[in-house]
Chain A
């Protein structure tokens, strides 16, 4: 160790190594020469796709991975081009990114902050990935985003819905296409008012971790603003599998709406339990008892089976969007077509967000003319685009959050096949879900300086 006289960043003291009898080593530290981490040197560029492959979200991760593979294929000029054809920006030419062929590496986040960071680090340190994307939970997204900021690569968040990702934990190198808890609440509130009236008493069951709290806070604020009252907010352990003891007291509490701020397995179980207790067949305060699940996903609908019927929630995107709501959502059908042809089923919202994020990154590089994260970040910040399936969208410069229309959906009463488990109730326009960057639910963080690495 005494021989390793390492000083500041990137400077190599070759004495010890050269002294070991090796002929003049051709050493270089890529960073020192190009000014940013993992600058692509050859005719290829490597992207890192970090998704859950084990654990409860493995299926969602698998769908994200499919979307990534498809995006890479399209970027390299393969397949039918998918949403490249509908994308409003035409900087991408189907020859990779700036003429460099796109390669990718994959890793397993295990939906644990630690494992996700280890996996992302190996992509950055070992494989030379210049951008990390993917993920299926906000905890992981925030952790990996922090890592990418430190390492000097771009993070294009996958599925993450917590306000914190672009709120108090926002980072200059991190970008989120997916919507967030505040937007869910803002989109849901008017629809809930139409469906269930403005005189309702809500009972919240909330997963006891940061995403659950921001979700609950957002929904409570939005529903109270339109006249609902909140009877109680009960925190449930994340590890809980049986929610009976939390659901049993609901009916006798005077509440007539149950809001389940749960995601994934938690949501499948709590909804199944709530339906078992017969809540949906009951009348309270002279009204039908209703259940609301603010954040929906196709996989959760599948897991909950028949229990999902008639339950209202929100989504970032749905594969039926263009068919039902018109060409404002152009790109949706192109994506569904190429995804469906390749894999045999329609993509999930997680897949769409990951596909869009990959294209957006590649496009930003092409427009900036550089892989330097700071240049890419500049190209993405404030970027307005269309044709990626969500309608006109803005990547806001203040917090790196995308603003676009939000879907309100409902479990289908009589699905024609397993791909039609949810139906679109309404699309809330982007203006209604836009908020001030200094909104109290998002305050407390700062983007900071963009970091290109050394």
Chain B
């Protein structure tokens, strides 16, 4: 189906099911229960899951296939956001032109940066991309403020021209009138599930992106990129110029990043300079590696994992902890709160750091390998030694 083999079709269908039913899957706990803290099924976070999923899928096309580790991909995300917001300021609040422009601008930007950076390989390439992104960030924060609105970030305002929108047009980002922040909630017993227009727009786009990335992975072009990763020198010796291929991969992943940036702005019309900072570039690298670089679904998992910790764990404060452990005797309750306290709320990044170390140490193939191991356990087959995880023995 869709020009894919059975295995990939299954994967695509599974991803489609997961994204379409995400409002149910991510809200497993009744809204009034103490566990509701762990529910992630509200529009903003679900949108972030899929948008950063798109970002990571695109990054993986470059890094997973060619092995070129870009440390400046956030620049394209940021450029995408700025173009989208400008489109919404000047032209119309309909998201289609905004998203289209963000992809195009990010594409052009990545042609320039890619063309220059791809003259070097390995760490030298990484630092070149990092340097370009940091330059963009620093300039966006200061000198380019007329275009970027600096630290505050570019926002829409009532006085913007919006020449295509008439007087009665929607005031918020919309898709032909369906506003992105429109949502509807379904109450079922103690549970509540929210369906938002914005999320489903993002989800459909992510499915398309995912499908495209599967096709790229399985195409001769994808094969060529893998060959670049395994031995670029040999490719060059056979008289083949690899640069057009790597540049194409770079631009495609830059456009994915631009699309993600455009979507971020479409869901929430603000473009902040921090989106271009090296920490943001580092984040997508971490997402991809954490999920499993070079795998199809890994980057999406990694993106979800990091965003989940950032948004859910940071909100657990001491009073929430007390309500969790309130069934225990007082002394033990306080002890439990004291023990858990450093890892939640303001300590969420500590937990994330620990998770990074644990995952990479025990699951060398990332979260995907964890999934595979669980899958094997469920199928009750003994794990084969030559599993495709690419596990390497530690030195010595």
- A–B direct touch, CB within 8 Å, in complex? yes
Does B42 contact A209, Cβ atoms closer than 8 Å?
Answer: no
Cα A293 to Cα B314 with chains together (Å): 33
Q: Does A86 contact B (CB under 8 A)?
A: no
**B184 touches which of A1, A29, A107, A119 (Cβ 8 Å):** A29
Q: Does B179 contact A (CB under 8 A)?
A: yes
**Which of A220-228, A231-239, A284-292 interfaces with chain B?**
A231-239
Q: Does B162 contact A (CB under 8 A)?
A: no
Does A117 contact B142, Cβ atoms closer than 8 Å?
Answer: no
Does B153 contact A113, Cβ atoms closer than 8 Å?
Answer: yes
**B178 touches which of A7, A105, A108, A448 (Cβ 8 Å):** A7
Are A58 and B346 also in contact (CB < 8 A) when A4-B195, A29-B185 are?
A: yes
Q: Does A96 contact B (CB under 8 A)?
A: no
Task: Find the residue from A54, A108, A114, A139 having the highest chain B CB count within 10 A.
Answer: A114
Does A146 contact B270, Cβ atoms closer than 8 Å?
Answer: yes
Are A113 and B270 also in contact (CB < 8 A) when A10-B182, A106-B317, A143-B153 are?
A: yes
Cα A25 to Cα B39 with chains together (Å): 20
Does A1 contact B200, Cβ atoms closer than 8 Å?
Answer: yes
Q: Does B43 contact A (CB under 8 A)?
A: yes
Q: Determine the residue in chain B with the shortest Cβ distance to A111.
A: B274
Residues of B within 8 A of A84 (CB): none
**B interface size (C-beta, 8 A):** 53
Shortest distance from the beta carbon of A347 to any chain B beta carbon, whole Å: 18
Does B44 contact A239, Cβ atoms closer than 8 Å?
Answer: no
Q: Does B45 contact A (CB under 8 A)?
A: yes
Are A209 and B142 also in contact (CB < 8 A) when A6-B178, A6-B197, A54-B349 are?
A: yes
Contact with A along B181-221 (1 / 0, CB 8 A): 11111111000001101001001100000000000000000
**A interface size (C-beta, 8 A):** 64
Q: Determine the residue in chain A with the shortest Cβ distance to B201.
A: A1
Q: Does B348 contact A (CB under 8 A)?
A: yes
**A122 touches which of B142, B155, B195, B311 (Cβ 8 Å):** B311
Residues of B within 8 A of A126 (CB): 39, 42, 45
Does A210 contact B152, Cβ atoms closer than 8 Å?
Answer: yes
Contact with A along B163-186 (1 / 0, CB 8 A): 000000000100001110111111
Cα A10 to Cα B178 with chains together (Å): 11
Are A237 and B138 also in contact (CB < 8 A) when A9-B179, A446-B158 are?
A: yes
Cα A209 to Cα B138 with chains together (Å): 11
Residues of B within 8 A of A142 (CB): 152-153, 155
Q: Does B315 contact A (CB under 8 A)?
A: yes
Q: Does B291 contact A (CB under 8 A)?
A: no
Does A118 contact B346, Cβ atoms closer than 8 Å?
Answer: no
Q: Does A266 contact B (CB under 8 A)?
A: no
Q: Determine the residue in chain B with the shortest Cβ distance to A18.
A: B186
Cα A446 to Cα B159 with chains together (Å): 9
Identify which of residues 358-373 in chain B touch chain A, using a CB-to-CB cut-off of 8 Å. Answer: none
Residues of A within 8 A of B274 (CB): 112-115
Shortest distance from the beta carbon of B324 to any chain A beta carbon, whole Å: 15
Does B159 contact A108, Cβ atoms closer than 8 Å?
Answer: no
Cα A139 to Cα B151 with chains together (Å): 6
Does B138 contact A113, Cβ atoms closer than 8 Å?
Answer: no
Identify which of residues 115-173 in chain A touch chain B, using a CB-to-CB cut-off of 8 Å. Answer: 115, 117-119, 121-122, 125-126, 137-139, 142-143, 146-147, 150-151, 164, 169
Does A25 contact B187, Cβ atoms closer than 8 Å?
Answer: yes
Cα A388 to Cα B138 with chains together (Å): 41
Query: Using a CB–CB distance below 8 Å, which chain B residues touch chain A?
Result: 20, 39, 42-45, 48, 138, 141-142, 145, 149-153, 155, 157-159, 172, 177-179, 181-188, 194-195, 197, 200, 203-204, 268, 270, 272, 274-275, 310-311, 314-315, 317, 319, 345-346, 348-349
- Contacts A26-B187, A108-B345 aside, 8 further interface pairs with beta carbons under 8 A come to A6-B197, A22-B188, A29-B184, A53-B314, A113-B153, A113-B274, A138-B152, A208-B142
Q: List 27 A-B contacts (CB under 8 A).
A: A8-B179, A9-B182, A10-B183, A10-B184, A12-B186, A25-B186, A27-B184, A27-B187, A28-B187, A62-B346, A112-B274, A114-B153, A115-B310, A117-B268, A118-B44, A122-B42, A125-B42, A125-B43, A138-B151, A147-B268, A151-B181, A209-B142, A209-B150, A210-B149, A210-B150, A210-B151, A235-B142
